Chain A
Amino acid sequence: MKILGLVTFLSLFVLFVVGCQSIGLKERGLQEQEVQGTHVQDDRLYRDLGGLQGIESLVDLAIEKIQNDPRVFHHFDGTNWDRFREKQIEHICVLAGGGCTYTGDTMIDVHTGMNINEAEFNAIADNIYRSMEKLDIPVGARNRLLAILARMRGEVIYR
């Protein structure tokens, strides 16, 4: 039993190290591609989100939730919602492997000066996730989009 335990622990430990390294690699890859405004990836997530129309519905619903979310709406004083909507749609389209071009500012530029904290980031992620639930986007697609957004947290919080 003790040897089984040690083997299992070592396997889990290796899993952690490999898992975390691969996440790190994906993060770096994503940042490079994002700066170029293109994203080389298959369009499976884009299709699972319902294509452009699906992403538009998602962003509309998420904006509605954000505007009514007391945890975060103070960060959006003076926001041009039309532009915000347009850029969000482009951004998610790109991240999901759709054929769009993102013409907005980088995540770092957008969020510098806002001093967004962990809880506020999670609140936004939560609003996006609940919007996907409401639109019956499949669980796997929800998780995949959330995972992509999660990898950008470092560019968003505490700036």
Chain B
Amino acid sequence: MTMNVSELCNVNDQTIIRLRLLLLLFISSALTLSSSFVQADGKLLGTAGASPVEGGGGGGLIPWAMLAGYATQDEWAGVAAVSHTDMTDFRMNSLSVAANYHDRVELSFGRIDFRSKAGGDVTRQNVAGLKVRLLGDLIYGDEPVVSVGVQYKSLLDTDTARASGAKDTTGTDFYVSAARVWLDGLVDRTVLLNANLRNTEANQLGLLGFGGDEGGREWLFEGAAAVYLDRYWAVGVEYREKPDNLSALREEDWAGIFVAYFPSKSVSVTAAYLNLGDVAGESNQSGMYLSTQGSF
């Protein structure tokens, strides 16, 4: 039996190896460069957010307007995060890294794995993200943070997308995002609000491909609201409108209620209960989400 070159190379797993190397590169860069570059420490604790499943700075389900990590305008930051979602009939894992240059530009790479608990093949997707802070600040001054972002998504495993009737197996999302913190907001507690408008045709984040027989690109709303109980703990909610492009597989909006813990500027942990509606033909998907993020 002969084997061709592509089987030997196994391009799909090379990408996850590349992501791990990128992670190592970030960590070693942080160690070697931290003496010559001004490395991140600058933002107030808890105001760097977490990392959503698609990577970059944000919450759990959606990106937020502020850039990943604790870099202020003279600094850089790196962030690495993993997440695990256990829903009724599926499991979803993500791994992402992001770099923040001077709190102006954020570059991120993420991988999402999605598989049925009933067995079968995994669906893997890469997400490459770029986010630019246009103006404003989360806490200070008169203007909220306003950012624009783009996410280039490509499926490594395209069988499910094709079988579902999706038009494409790669796609690009665009979004504009605004966020603000009121230090003494509700009942003297620190409050955060974030709102996104996303232009997308990705089915279930892109895991079921892009576009379909019942729709294409549209503008969708995403929002988050959080209250900081003290500097270390925040609770909040996220909401993500979804398209519903595939007649074969109904798609519903996602919602989550989360608790985030920021023991230091180096690490944060987020746990959430998610309500995901119908996913890939299975109804009433809900479950737990857990993610950990390291910042440097």
Contacts and interface: CB of A to CB of B under 8 A. Distances in A.
A144 B187 CA distance: 10
Contact of B231 (A1, A8, A19, A129): A129
Contacts, number: 93
Given A20-B143, A119-B42, A9 B72 contact: no
Nearest to A25: B142
B42 A9 contact: no
A139 B42 CA distance: 22
Interface residues of A, number: 36
A2 B140 contact: no
Nearest to A12: B195
Most buried by B among A21, A119, A144: A119
A117 B74 contact: yes
Contact of B187 (A23, A126, A140): A140
Between A71, A144, A146, the greatest number of chain B beta carbons within 10 A of the residue's beta carbon is seen for A146
A122 B75 CA distance: 13
B189 interface: yes
Contacts of A5: 220-221, 241
B7 interface: no
Given A5-B221, A71-B41, A118 B73 contact: yes
Given A143-B189, A153-B140, A20 B195 contact: no
Interface residues of B, number: 37
A17 to B, nearest CB: 9
B41 A119 contact: yes
A12 B65 CA distance: 14
> In terms of DSSP, what is the predominant structure of the interface of chain A?
helix
B180 interface: yes
A141 B183 CA distance: 11
A147 B183 contact: yes
B230 interface: yes
Contact of B180 (A20, A24, A119): A20
Contacts of A27: 142
Contacts of A23: 142, 182
Interface of B: 38, 41-45, 72-75, 139-144, 178, 180, 182-184, 187-190, 193, 195, 197, 220-221, 223, 229-231, 239, 241, 253
12 contacts: A8-B223, A15-B193, A16-B178, A24-B142, A71-B41, A117-B42, A126-B44, A139-B230, A143-B188, A143-B189, A144-B188, A154-B140
